[in-house]
Structure 1
Amino acid sequence: MAEFDMTFKLLMFGDGGVGKTSLTQRYVTGVFVDSQRITIGVDFHIKELTLEGKRIKLQVWDFGGEERFRFLLPNYCRGASGGMFLYDITSLTSLSHLVDWMQIVRQNAGLVPILMVGAKADLANLRKVQPQEAIETAKANKLSGFAEVSAKTGENVEKTFETITRLMMKKLAARSATSS
């Protein structure tokens, strides 16, 4: 049985169809699946990694983005270590729902690190959200950072998950330091 130095619960949230499941699958399995079925409620994935000499178990909770499943989210948010808010770079509407999503997550998970992630970076020719606009939105909403990824090409996928994992490690270390 594998022993881990740390276990983190990572929330993947944002509107339906923005690419949460594709990104999660690409990270966990290394494979891109073009057409995904709708996520009902939440899907759960495990990824084991070593970062900064620590063995880490990442529990990735991929939320269904459809409005009709939103009532399930508060319970799933509890105990989270961090999150990624995903929006589709080709959809301004998906970015505009950040405040709604953040309200649910902050009320139920607290002040955990959250990255704003622009998905579908391979569709830059169809872009509706400029990186600077997303960065400013992330700062205004006190998010921990910003990235753009492509589950299709793999661009920035590993790096983005490593970034949020490092932020969760830093938060855990800070909490441990204040409690000892």
Structure 2
Amino acid sequence: MDRGEDVKPEEQVSKVTKPPCYKIIILGESGVGKTCLSFRFCAGRFPQSTEATIGLDFREKIVELEGTRIKLQLWDTAGQERFRKSVTPHYYRGACAVVLVYDVTNASSLMALDHWMQELEYHGLTNKIPRILVGNKCDQEDVKVKTEDAQRWADDRGMPLFETSAKDDSQCDHVEAIFLTVAHKLKNGKNLIKPVVDPNNPEIEPVRVLYRSSLTQPTQDQTEDYSSCCF
């Protein structure tokens, strides 16, 4: 008798290996484009309509690097002061990498990142995890932050600088490069915080609806089934 006839139906269902999940937090003042950057990377386009993030917002995307699948979970938070204290502890917990964002048309948004660096230091994350500086809205003509000034800020704090536009389709590859650079650092172990796995079920990948967005009037492709998050 063929051995395949003895296999129970449930045994014939192949297990799906759960990729490691890395939590990436996106920091910056309100209006610099944090949500638009994460949406561009995960959805591959600029959102048609947005409103200010209230509380927390996150998205997930699975990428493959050299044959290895890893899940990137992108968290961004409201830049307004009144939201910071309520979400801070949960927001920083388990973070594996940080993307700091400023608006190239707003010089104060770069200076304000010093506050966010203090937050990272307070939560013990300053030197433990990869950090990247991103200047957004490079499609605008009214640029107030010179590249050399932003580069100096980044060099002083030991992080690379990217300048891009989440809105401009011609620069969308730059957005991809930002998060893939982070992904490579995480995959190569350049962080001291391990990726999160489910200790109760490390092999099976559960799937459920998990998409929180500040986007108004979400379309069908903006609401998808995502794997369980890693907080």
TM-score computed with the length of structure 2 as normaliser? 0.70
Equivalent pair of 1:10/1:61 in contact (CA under 8 Å): yes
CA distance, structure 2, for counterparts of residue 2 and residue 134 of structure 1:
43
Equivalent pair of 1:77/1:109 in contact (CA under 8 Å): no
Correspondent of 1:129 among 136, 145, 148: 145
Q: Does 1:119 align with 2:119?
A: no
CA distance, structure 2, for counterparts of residue 78 and residue 41 of structure 1:
15
Correspondent of 2:179 among 144, 157, 161: 161
Q: Does 1:36 align with 2:88?
A: no
Correspondent of 1:171 among 181, 185, 189: 189
> In the alignment, what sits opposite 1:92?
107
Equivalent pair of 2:129/2:191 in contact (CA under 8 Å): no
Bigger relative contact order, structure 1 or 2 (CA pairs below 8 A, ≥6 apart): 2
Q: Offset at 1:175?
A: 7.7
Correspondent of 1:9 among 16, 23, 31: 23
> In the alignment, what sits opposite 1:83?
98
Q: Offset at 1:2?
A: 4.5
Equivalent pair of 1:82/1:114 in contact (CA under 8 Å): yes
CA distance, structure 2, for counterparts of residue 88 and residue 173 of structure 1:
27
Structure 1 or 2, whichever has the larger Rg, is 2
- Taking the TM superposition and a 5 Å limit, the aligned residue runs for 1:144-155 are 144-154=159-169, 155=171
- The total of aligned residue pairs comes to 174
Equivalent pair of 2:105/2:143 in contact (CA under 8 Å): yes
SS in 1 for 2:118: helix
1:31–1:23 distance in 2 versus 1, CA, 3 Å:
same
Gaps of 5+ in 1: none
Gaps of 5+ in 2: 1-14, 195-231
**Alignment RMSD:** 1.9
Q: Offset at 1:34?
A: 5.0
CA distance, structure 2, for counterparts of residue 17 and residue 57 of structure 1:
26
The residue type paired with residue 86 of structure 1 is: V
The residue type paired with residue 54 of structure 1 is: T
Deviates more, 1:17-26 or 1:36-45: 36-45
The residue type paired with residue 163 of structure 2 is: E
Higher helix share: 1
Equivalent pair of 1:121/1:150 in contact (CA under 8 Å): yes
> In the alignment, what sits opposite 1:52?
66
Q: Offset at 1:164?
A: 1.3
SS in 1 for 2:139: helix
CA distance, structure 2, for counterparts of residue 6 and residue 53 of structure 1:
13
Q: Does 1:104 align with 2:131?
A: no
Correspondent of 1:141 among 157, 169, 172: 157
CA distance, structure 2, for counterparts of residue 39 and residue 145 of structure 1:
26
1:95–1:153 distance in 2 versus 1, CA, 3 Å:
same
CA distance, structure 2, for counterparts of residue 64 and residue 115 of structure 1:
19
Q: Which runs of 4+ in 1 moved over 4 A?
A: 172-176
